[in-house]
Amino acid sequence: MSSNNVFLTDTDKYLFGKGTHYEIYEKLGAHITEADGRKGVYFAVWAPNAAGICVVGDFNNWCGDNYEMRRHDDSGIFELFTENAHEGSLYKYLIYTKDGRMLYKADPYATYSQRRPDNASIVYDINRYQWNDGQWLAEEEKTAPTKKPMAIYEVHLGSWKKKDDGTPEGFLNYRESAVQLVDYMKYMGYTHIELMGIAEHPFDGSWGYQVTGYFAPTSRYGTPEDFMYFVDYLHQNGIGVILDWVPAHFPKDEHGLANFDGTPTYEYADSRKGEHPDWGTKIFDYGRTQVISFLISNALYWVEKFHVDGLRVDAVASMLYLDYGRNQGQWVPNKYGGNGNLEAMDFFRHLNSVMRSRNPRAITIAEESTAWPGITASEEEGGLGFTFKWNMGWMNDFLEYMHMDPLFRSGNHGKLTFSMDYAYSENFIQVLSHDEVVHGKGSMINKMPGELDDQFANLRAAYGFMYGHPGKKLLFMGQEFAQYREWSESRSLDWYLLGEERNKQMQAYVKALNALYRKNEALYVNDYDIMGFEWMSCLNADQSTVSFVRRGKTTKKQLLFVCNFTPVKREDFRVGVPCSGEYSLILTSDDKAYGGTGVRNAKKVTADKITFDGRDYSIKMTLPPLSVTCLLYTSDAAD
């Protein structure tokens, strides 16, 4: 780098102070550079209320003498150039507070950190990597993400697989993970991976959701270049990469962002806004422009420097509601007397607008657990501008329904069908995520009622309904082969279960669902258009059956789903259908190959001119117990 690209200018300080410096990470942090013919490292940090700051590291024996940073007028930024630091140097900022304390802080803009439990920052040049994913990036811009298939495999890298290398953790390196994940995901037919907790964090048990290094891929699994290789390799193999991103809160670890310069710097000063009482964490001050520059530049950093395809934004509800997790008297209303955080709303609109304009291929996904309106509506419409929203309402209702003994499902039929009443209010992703298989909630298979065979049949029916329902798809690792144990970040998935017939059959079934999904545009191209879905029957609560159709852009290759959520085989079951013509069986969860009973139906059936379910045409079939059956038809023959 040349000094012209690194050292702060008046324009940098102005934009940073306006909350619109979208590459501030290029100026703050540690940058290898050359000044007046001298090679070294330029350090810059924002700490507006510090009395003074020194850079300390292994290059000066962690002693700040002669390494005092210069305050950059009234911007609150301190800077230092030294020839003695170099790539690989360990460093921290020694901050002298106005009340006489000394704080040792990791660099908020560091691109690399020591492996925990050590927590110094490391000087690292992230600009060397030679990317090979140009074709992927170009292709991604051609089609709107809402029109593409998204079968997302949610993964915690540290526990997907482990190796016996003599270390307590047995972590795979990013490069090793890339090769093994690509092989597995291509075999299974997933389109995207979503990674939990990649930004640096000190505590494994936080799963990466308590971040101390927002610009540093965690060193648990290798270097920043190793992570670039990970993304590049997945892209070259046709797989998109989504990162979980945490702008909602940060931990109180002494070396992190909390009270960075001895005063609330990145967090709200008022604890009624600045602390989560339930989580014991700090909340970013979304009204502070320098914090906005930090957060938005960080979101762009992962997309523009690491080529990731999107960010799933964690805990959005906690940002939007001032009273989130608080009792009366513990929160401060906004200027209108309401409980909405106006500054957080503005932040989201700003973030999503900038992301979309700079990186049209990139998506943002809100993990938002309430019915807050307009999460995926455009900013012009008064919305927040996210691309997608996790469908938490569907997830909670559906899992409650599936957990019931089938005897009681008839009285709770609305939990199965209600999601379609609001399906077009947002661009939803149907999720069965990590949060549902931890903390005593049980794995997906152990949520299902009955003996083991019934549990597997229920889970196949659940996955089949999920894939037929409008919305993109997300399934957490291990649930594709029905792992019995809850997930734990401290151990590998139970891959040995693939030696058991039932688990291997479940894996084969999820593979078949992914293939069905990707092959048939009716399952994704009109996810957010009312023409893409129509109930054929949703009122048969007594028998706990539903049927519906999914439609694509043409009249060809449309799909009929018939679902039975009881363990009763129904002979001569009549189903209303949208039109005359042939209906071809293309998938049933009851197939013996997937562990089902193997109820036989004709490969093709011609619709009868018999009115049923309010339709002019209908078909007759044997409905397998606890099953989802999918038939292909063409509507050209509609009368």
CA nearest to 23, candidates 165, 127, 164: 127
**549/473 Cα distance (integer angstroms):** 18
**471/296 Cα distance (integer angstroms):** 27
Q: Give the CA distances from residue 74 to residues 5, 7, 18, 48, 88, in Å, rounded to whole numbers and listed in that order.
A: 22, 16, 14, 8, 31
Query: How many Cβ atoms are within 10 Å of 492's Cβ, its own excluded?
Result: 16
Cβ–Cβ < 8 Å for 559, 520: yes
- Which residues partner with 71 through β-bridges? 78
Q: What is the DSSP string of 318-341?
A: HHHBTTTT--TTSS---TTS-SB-
In terms of DSSP bridges, do strands 52-57 and 90-96 run parallel, antiparallel, or are they unpaired?
antiparallel
Cβ–Cβ < 8 Å for 627, 589: yes
CA nearest to 420, candidates 430, 411, 433, 412: 430
DSSP 114: P
Query: How many Cβ atoms are within 10 Å of 279's Cβ, its own excluded?
Result: 17
- Residue 317 phi/psi, 5-degree rounding, is -60, -40
- Residue 451 CB contacts under 8 Å (≥ 6 apart), including other chains: none
CA nearest to 42, candidates 72, 20, 76, 15: 72
Active site residues: 314, 367
Cβ–Cβ < 8 Å for 76, 51: no
> Residue with structure tokens 């036989």?
600
